Amino acid sequence: MKKLLIAVLLCVSGSAFANSACDKPKNDFDGLYCLNKVWQEADKELNENYKALASKLDADGKKALKTGQLAWIKSRNNSCSKLEPTAFWVDLDCANKTTIDRSRFLQDRIRECASAGCMNSKL
């Protein structure tokens, strides 16, 4: 059985820790804890935005949204993680930034649906 090791490459940006108890983590594990808190919130917002947008789309739009989301997940995983024979590496800072960017993209599409109508070509 392969031993699974989760390690985080901490390339922490100031934005992830600004104005919080995580502003100056004492060690890598404190940094991991803080980045994980950001990750959980970003992932929650991403899922909420995805559901909100999907509820506004027609069948073709929902299909395009799902296809785009699956492509985004693959891209995020390729960019922010690496599988080795004895370890699995996740760069949580990369995952956070990528997830926040995708969530903003979905928010922009929700705004478009509300103002100019949903444009499936942008999904």
Closest by CA position to 96, among listed 45, 48, 61: 45
The DSSP result for 47-80, as a single string, is HHHHHHHHTT--HHHHHHHHHHHHHHHHHHHHHH
> 15 is written with which tokens?
């934005």
Q: Is residue 21 part of a domain?
A: no
pLDDT digits (tens, 9 = 90+) for 63-74: 999 999 999 999
Q: Is residue 20 part of a domain?
A: no
Say if strands 81-83 and 88-90 run parallel, antiparallel, or are unpaired: antiparallel
C-alpha distances (whole Å) from 111 to each of 52, 86, 88, 117 are 11, 44, 37, 9
Q: Is 108 helix (H, G, I), strand (E, B) or coil?
A: helix
Q: Worst-scoring range by mean pLDDT, 5-14, 20-29, 50-59? A: 5-14
Q: What is the model's pLDDT at position 75?
A: 97
| Domain around 91 | 6-10+36-117
Q: Is residue 19 part of a domain?
A: no
The structural domain count of the chain equals 1
Q: Is residue 72 part of a domain?
A: yes
Range list of H helices, the chain: 14-17, 28-54, 59-80, 92-115
Say what the pTM is: 0.78
pLDDT digits (tens, 9 = 90+) for 83-92: 999 999 999 9
Q: What is the model's pLDDT at position 20?
A: 59
CB-CB contact of 15 with 98 (8 Å): no
CATH number where 77 lies: 1.20.1270
Q: Is residue 61 part of a domain?
A: yes
